[in-house]
Copies of this chain bind each other. A is one copy, B any other.
Amino acid sequence: MSEPVVVETVEAMRAWSRMAMKAGRSVGFVPTMGALHAGHTSLMERARKENDAVVVSIYVNPTQFGIGEDFAKYPRSLDADRKLCGEAGVECIFAPKNLYETGACSFIEVGGLQEHLCGISRPGHFRGVATVVAKLFNIVEADRAYFGMKDAQQLVIIQTMVRDLNMSVTIVPCEIVREPDGLAMSSRNRYLSVTERKLALVVPRALDCFRAAIKNGERDAMKIVGEMANILAERDEVEIDYCAIVDAHTLEDVTKIKGDVLAAVAVKIGKTRLIDNARFEGL
């Protein structure tokens, strides 16, 4: 594999994309905040399969972090990221130093959907996500963009934004990639101590409980949520942010499980916030 080219300015990225477009080459886009792991690799590999070229953006977006959140200490590892992109056949890395003009004041709000789950404990987060993703879409002008299903709420919000604002990119949701012991891949797993890493397994265990209950025919959401929460609460060191079963499209809590549903969990272990989810469709 040849090394990917790294472009750092909006103008350079746009020039690259326009050349690809003129040459009739399809572009797959994987937006990331870097600190890449096997979850990201799976997105890149899928993008590689479905497009002539792959662009990965690496940008820790300040507007999606709240006050007191981990913006400053969010892991940055551009050299390792570049190597991983090269191995995955990525052709271009967009790594801007800054994406916001002085005085930038335009924001995209995806009403309703941002008021559930992570939106409650992270006010402004999804406004920042929607805005930066729209900016990246406008700069990269890709045919397809790849998002992991771990950030389930982010995915629904991006899909809704693309639909509502008639963006021409196609959103491709990709399965969650897990460690062998079941923990969902996340850049924030790097924060965990050895002890915390073990504690974190209550999250996939709670989701396993959800999957088993659904397969056993249980359709009472409150009952399953109670069982999931019991698992999460086994250890005092695990603080539950939320544990909910929601409609996969509206993200609203459900009582009777039916149609497309999502069991979504967020916990805090020490200073690290982890999210995960499991999905069933057509129930």
CB distance from A60 to the nearest CB of B (A): 18
- B108–A164 touching, CB < 8 Å: no
- A108 CB contacts on chain B under 8 angstroms: 106-109, 165
Interface membership of A138, Cβ < 8 A: yes
Interface membership of A246, Cβ < 8 A: no
Interface membership of A139, Cβ < 8 A: yes
- A194 CB contacts on chain B under 8 angstroms: none
- Given A14-B168, A138-B166, A165-B135: A106 touches B110 (CB 8 Å cut-off): yes
Interface membership of A10, Cβ < 8 A: yes
Q: Which of A70-120 contact B (CB under 8 A)?
A: 99-101, 104-113
Interface membership of A167, Cβ < 8 A: yes
Q: Name the residue on B nearest A107 (C-beta).
A: B109
Give chain A's interface secondary structure class: mixed
CB distance from A32 to the nearest CB of B (A): 18
Most chain B CB neighbours (cut-off 10 Å) among A104, A139, A141, A164? A164
Interface membership of A264, Cβ < 8 A: no
CB distance from A102 to the nearest CB of B (A): 11
CB distance from A165 to the nearest CB of B (A): 6
Give Cα distance in the complex from A163 to B138, angstroms: 11
- A57 CB contacts on chain B under 8 angstroms: none
CB distance from A29 to the nearest CB of B (A): 14
Partner of A106, one of B10, B135, B161: B161
The 9 closest A-B pairs by CB, nearest first: A106-B164, A105-B111, A138-B166, A104-B164, A135-B166, A106-B161, A106-B110, A139-B166, A105-B112
